[in-house]
Amino acid sequence: MTTKFDYSGKVAFVTGAGSGIGRATALAFAGAGADVAIADISAAGLDETASLIADAGGGVRAFPVDVADAAQVERAVTRAVEVFGRLDVAFNNAATFDAPGPVDTLEVETWNRIIAVNLSGIFHCVKYQAAAMLPRGGGAIINTGSVASEIASLGLTAYTASKHGVVGLTKKAALDYATRGLRVNAVLPGAIDTPMAAEFSGGTEEGRAAMVALEPMGRLGAPREIADVVLWLGSDAASFVTGHCVAVDGGWLAR
């Protein structure tokens, strides 16, 4: 667990916490002393993350949530505040993806679902998290974008569009709350060693090697390396940072 920052007495809310980057970040917040509200559409993954936090002595409450459903997000944020008494930092990480291909081959239903999760889901989270944080003087919200927030070379139509949208939403929200103590930033991961990346690569050694080949550093990133940046963005060490999208991508976007 990350221990570089002190989140003692604070409450974090993490979506997509059932695996990968979300799980690593929830564990990092707990390791730094925060109570953690975790949300995910996968009940099994959520339970596993909750057990890992609890077994390490952390305070945790799990909420099965489909972030595409605004009412579910609102209930989870409201309940988290009721349970822990406050909300200080949120990491909005839940996402899904479509198959590579030209725009005309993408099914409308697939487009709608990915936009609903990846972009509308972030909007739902920011909306209700901001409402919970502002009366207490603010906090920090970090959204998960992607290298696909800046480029389209992955070939994923809906995913690319949604992740571009996350950047725009992040910057707009940052300006909305810049004088009210609420900072809003984003992380843009490259190829990270997660179950989602494995699914995207087809779960084969060849697919994994192809992803590694895209990274100038010659390896996949670790979920912990994203968590470290998220904890920095949520801390007072980043007190003058808002509206910023931090690429954590092994140099991918520098090419």
pLDDT tens digit string along 233-242? 999 999 999 9
7 annotated active-site: no
pLDDT > 60? residue 3 = no
Q: What is the pLDDT of residues 184-213, one digit of tens each?
A: 999 999 999 888 888 877 888 888 998 898
pLDDT at 154: 84
Q: What is the pLDDT of residue 2?
A: 43
**Which domains are present in the chain?**
11-190+223-248 (3.40.50.720)
With 60 as the cut, is the pLDDT of residue 251 above it?
yes
Over residues 20-44, the pLDDT tens digits come to 999 999 999 999 999 999 999 999 9
- In whole angstroms, what is the distance from residue 119 CA to residue 116 CA? 6
State how far the Cα of 242 lies from the Cα of 186, in Å rounded to an integer.
9
pLDDT in tens, 56-77: 999 999 999 999 999 999 999 9
Which pLDDT score is estimated for 202? 82
Look at residue 225 and tell me whether its pLDDT is greater than 90. yes
* Residues sharing a CB contact under 8 Å with residue 125, sequence separation 6 or more, in sequence order: 15, 67, 73, 77, 90, 92, 141, 143
3 state SS of 205: helix
Decide if 142 contacts 187 (C-beta within 8 A). yes
| Strand residue runs (E) in the chain | 11-15, 35-40, 60-64, 89-92, 139-144, 182-189, 245-248
pLDDT tens figures, 75-115: 999 999 999 999 999 999 999 999 999 999 999 999 999 99
Q: Are 65 and 72 in contact (CB under 8 A)?
A: yes
Q: pLDDT digit string (tens) for 117-158? A: 999 999 999 999 999 999 999 999 999 999 999 999 888 999
- Rounded to 10 degrees, the C-alpha dihedral 162/166/168/169 comes to 120
7, 128, 159, 177: the active-site residue: 159
